[in-house]
Amino acid sequence: MQNIAVCVSGGGTNLQAIIDAIEQGTIKDTRIALVVSNKKEAYALERARKAGIEAKYVSPKDYEDLDDFGWEMSQIFFEHKIDLVVLAGYLVIIPHSLVMNYAGKIINIHPS
């Protein structure tokens, strides 16, 4: 079973599509272990909670610099045993430290 973290900034329509695909068996052997948003009021956090998924607010604005934010995100992902990070409408620059810790394990869903 693969644990994924989904990072979001808004309503979470892509998150909902992932939740639905897992529930319907389209995406197999995968569970969303964590949803993280940089926006405290993002509806995606509510979507996650309604689906029984842990939801967490973590903002880069709360850190001295982007690298500190990246290390904190990495630590959170390590604690949740995250195998794959999915950026689903996540409107944050991804810090180098996070990219290095999850090299080859980050995918971005782009709305274009």
Residue-wise pLDDT for 20-61, tens only, equals 999 999 999 999 999 999 999 999 999 999 999 999 999 999
pLDDT at 110: 76
Catalytic residue among 65, 110, 111, 112: 110
CATH topology of domain 2-109: Rossmann fold (3.40.50)
Q: Which of 86, 111, 91 is nearest to 102 (CA)?
A: 86
* CB neighbour list of residue 57: distance below 8 Å, 6 or more residues apart: 36, 37, 38, 39, 40, 45
Rounded distance, CA 88 to CA 72, Å? 19
- Give 12's pLDDT tier (boundaries 50, 70, 90): very high
Q: Model's pTM, two decimal places?
A: 0.95
Q: Tokens 């639905």 map to which residue?
A: 20
**61-83 residue pLDDT tens:** 999 999 999 999 999 999 999 99
Known catalytic residue: 110?
yes
State the Rg of the chain over Cα: 13
- In this predicted structure, the answer to whether residue 112 has a pLDDT above a threshold of 70 is no
CA 63, 69, 71: angle at the middle one, nearest 5? 135
Across residues 96-111, what is the average pLDDT? 93
Domain-wise residue ranges, the chain: 2-109
